[in-house]
Amino acid sequence: MTSTSRVWPVPSVPKEALAEFELQMQSRGVDLSEYDLLLEETEDSYIIATSSKRKPPRMRGSLPDHPDYEVVVAKESFDLIRVSRAR
């Protein structure tokens, strides 16, 4: 189970975690050039989240035509733990 009690931003994630993220986004037809990426980690996972560049400042949730995603990847195995779509 992923520990989410302590989450902190990081400047980068390993290429294996990024590859899993890209695979998940590609399978959903997401054009990553339209998103900013947010990188975080917990004790046992990497979290890569998207934020639409079209989203107005301080807006919560996603734009109907550009949903935000969060992909959680295990640190040791780089296995996919979860993909979430923000509403």
Domain containing 38: what range?
Answer: 8-85
DSSP-based three-state secondary structure for 52: strand
Q: For the chain, where are the alpha helices, taking DSSP H only?
A: 15-27
Which one-letter amino acid corresponds to residue 63? L
Check residues 84 and 2 and name the one with the higher pLDDT.
84
What average pLDDT does the segment 47-67 reach?
89
DSSP-based three-state secondary structure for 40: strand
**Contact yes or no for 41/13 (Cβ under 8 A):** yes
70: CATH: 3.10.450
Which one-letter amino acid corresponds to residue 40? E
Residue 17 counted as domain residue: yes
Rg (CA), the chain: 13
* Band of pLDDT at residue 79, cut at 50, 70 and 90: very high
Overall domain count for the chain = 1
Say if residue 58's pLDDT is above 80: yes
Say if residue 84's pLDDT is above 90: yes
Name the pTM for this structure. Answer: 0.85
